[in-house]
Amino acid sequence: MAARARQAPLRDAPDAALGDNAVPAGNAIMTRAILYTIVFIEGFCSLGAEVIALRQIVPHMGSSIVVTAPTIGFFLLALALGYHAGAQVDRDYRHVVARNFLAAAALSGVGLAGVSVDLLFDALKQPGIAYLAFVGGVLCPIAWLLGQTVPVLSNLFEHERVGAASGHALTASTLGSFLGSLTLSLLVMQWLGVSAAVALCAVLLLAGYVLLHGRGLRAVAAAAVVLGATVTANAWLRPVIDTAYASYAVIPVTREGMIDARAFRNNNSVASLVDRSEPPHHARYIEHIRALLLDKLGMRERDILVLGAGGFTLSHREPANRYIYVDIDPAIREIAERTFLQEAARGEFIADDARRFVRLTARRFDALVVDVYSSHTAIPGHLATREFWRDTQRVLKPDAPMIANLILDERLATPYARNMLATIESVYGRCAVEVLQRRQELSNVVVTCFNGVPAGGASIYVDERNPADLDLARSR
C-alpha cells in the first residue's frame, strides 16, 4: 500500500522538478525521530482506543466473547480501510495526517469518555443499536483515521526504499500498539482510572498534531479546544469512580421500609443497598442469604467465601462468621468503605479472578456465596460454565452449602435461565431455587445447593412403569 502511495502522481510540483526521492512542495522534510514518534503515537493510541472501548461497553453489554469479538473485528476492518485510504493519498502528507490526528483526538477524548457512552446508551435505549452506533460512530472512525498514518508518512522517509520505509514505520507503530495495550490496561487504568487513559490518548494525539502541523497559533488553538473538551468530558461531567474493571457511584434511593437509603452502583447497576436504620437494612437478596446462613443453617464461627464483593454488605455489622471476599478489582474495598459503607468492611479481601481463585486455592470453606456480575444481568462467561461450578465445589467442605445469586426472568423460562440452572445442577445435583420478585420481568433468584448431593440422572414416572411408592420408601 505504501508503494502505491509513493508511485502516485505528485501534483504539488512540476514533474521536472522532482527527483526519485523528493517530497512534494508543502511537505518539508521531517527528521526521522519525529516521523517515528508520530507513527509510535498512532500505534499507541489506535490500540489504546480499542482497549478503552472494550472497557467502556462492559457496563452496558458485558464482557462476553459475543461482544468483544465483533468489537475487535469491526476495529480491524476500519483499520484495513484506513490503510487503503492512506495508500491513495498523493499530496499534502503532513497536513492529511495532522488533520486525522486532530479528529481522532476529539473522537477519543470526548467519544470514548464514560459520560458520552452512558448518554448514548441511555438515549438509544436498545443496547444492540447503541453498541453499533458507538462502534460505528466512534471506534471505527478513530481506527480509520489513524490507519492512514503509516501509508501516508512512508512517503516522507527520504532516500529509503519503499519496503524499508514501510517496514521501519510498521515497527514503530506495532511497538506503540504493544506498549499502549500494556501501559493503559496494567498501569494507567489500574492506578489512575479509565478517564485518565482516555485523556492520555487524546493528549498524545494532540501532541502528534502539533508536531505535524507546527506550533502556529491556529494549531495551538485547535489543540486547546479539543483538550478542553476532553478534560470537561472526563473530569467534570461524570460523577463516578472509574477503575480498570468497573465504574462505581453511590446514589440516594427510596425503598419502602428503609431510612435514607443509598445504593452502590457497579457498572450502572445497583449492586448493594444500605440505609441508616439500626440495625441497617440491605438489599432483599442479601437479607435472604443472611437468613439462610444464620437462621436456617445456623452458621456461627464459620469461614464463608464470597465471590464478588459488591458493597461488602453480606458481612456488614455481622460478627457471627468470618467472611472472605474475592473480587477482581483491587480498588473495590477502599471505594466501598469510603463512599458507600462509610466504615470499615468486615472480612478478609482477596483481589483475584473468581475462577482463578477457586481453581488454585488450597483453602476449604464452610459455605460459598457466588454473586458475580460484570453488569446488571451478565455473569462473565467464564464463570457460567460447568468447569467453573466444579471448581467451586472443590473449595467446599463436605456437605457445605453453595448459594448463588442469579438475575433471571421470574418464570425461569428463557434459555439462559433454564441452561444456567441445568449447568449448576449438573455439578451439584438438585438445588433449591427461590424467585424473590415474582412481579418483575427480572428477579433475583437464589439457588442453594449442597456439596455431596449426587448429580446423577433422574427417572420419569409414567403409568406403564411407576416406582414412585418404592422410591419414596427408599428415600425415608
Complete DSSP assignment for 289-349: HHHIIIIIS---S-EEEEES-TTS-TTTT--SSEEEEEES-TTHHHHIIIIIISSPPPSEE
- Please report the pLDDT score of residue 26 as a whole number: 41
Domain match, 212 and 310 both: no
The pLDDT confidence band at residue 20, using thresholds 50, 70 and 90, is very low
Spatial distance between the Cα atoms of 290 and 271, rounded to a whole number of angstroms: 16
Query: How many residues are recorded in the chain?
Result: 476
Domain match, 233 and 295 both: no
Assess if residue 249 is contained within a domain: no
Assess if residue 456 is contained within a domain: no
Which residues form the domain of 376? 280-450
Domain match, 416 and 299 both: yes
Residue 82's identity, in one-letter code, is G
- Please report the pLDDT score of residue 456 as a whole number: 65
Return all residues near 57 (Cβ < 8 A) that are at least 6 apart: 67, 71, 117, 131, 134
Contact 407, 373 (CB under 8 A): yes
The pLDDT confidence band at residue 292, using thresholds 50, 70 and 90, is very high
Spatial distance between the Cα atoms of 446 and 431, rounded to a whole number of angstroms: 10
The pLDDT confidence band at residue 24, using thresholds 50, 70 and 90, is very low
Give the mean model confidence (pLDDT) for residues 445-465.
84
Q: How many domains does the chain have?
A: 2
Spatial distance between the Cα atoms of 171 and 144, rounded to a whole number of angstroms: 19
The pLDDT confidence band at residue 11, using thresholds 50, 70 and 90, is very low
Domain match, 224 and 326 both: no
Q: Taking 80 as the threshold, does the pLDDT of residue 160 lie above it?
A: no
Domain match, 204 and 352 both: no
Contact 408, 443 (CB under 8 A): yes
Q: Taking 60 as the threshold, does the pLDDT of residue 344 lie above it?
A: yes
Residue, of 25 and 83, whose pLDDT is higher: 83
The CATH number of whichever domain residue 69 belongs to comes to 1.20.1250.20
Phi, psi of 287 (to 5 degrees): -65, -35
Assess if residue 390 is contained within a domain: yes
Q: Both ends of the chain: CA-CA distance in Å?
A: 78
Domain match, 401 and 292 both: yes
User: Is the torsion defined by CA of 219, 220, 223, 225 positive or negative?
Assistant: negative
Among residues 103, 112, 111, the alpha carbon closest in space to that of 212 is found at 103
The pLDDT confidence band at residue 247, using thresholds 50, 70 and 90, is confident
Among residues 35, 21, 230, the alpha carbon closest in space to that of 114 is found at 230
- Over the chain, what is the mean pLDDT? 87
E strand or H helix at 166, and its extent?
A: helix 162-182
Assess if residue 271 is contained within a domain: no
Outline where 386-450 has alpha helix (H).
386-394, 415-428
Assess if residue 256 is contained within a domain: no
Domain match, 295 and 439 both: yes
Q: Taking 60 as the threshold, does the pLDDT of residue 460 lie above it?
A: yes
Assess if residue 274 is contained within a domain: no
Q: Taking 60 as the threshold, does the pLDDT of residue 27 lie above it?
A: no
Model pLDDT for residues 357-413, shown as the tens digit of each residue: 999 999 999 999 999 976 665 678 889 899 999 999 999 999 999 999 999 999 999
The pLDDT confidence band at residue 9, using thresholds 50, 70 and 90, is very low
Residue, of 346 and 31, whose pLDDT is higher: 346
Cis peptide bond upstream of 279, omega within 30: yes
Assess if residue 474 is contained within a domain: no
Domain match, 318 and 211 both: no
Assess if residue 86 is contained within a domain: yes
Domain match, 296 and 232 both: no
Model pLDDT for residues 233-246, shown as the tens digit of each residue: 987 655 678 888 88
The CATH number of whichever domain residue 357 belongs to comes to 3.40.50.150
% of the chain at pLDDT higher than 70? 90
Domain match, 230 and 305 both: no
Domain match, 202 and 339 both: no
% of the chain at pLDDT higher than 90? 66
Contact 371, 341 (CB under 8 A): no
Domain match, 22 and 103 both: yes
Point out the domain boundary residue: 207, 238, 269.
Answer: 238
Spatial distance between the Cα atoms of 435 and 432, rounded to a whole number of angstroms: 10
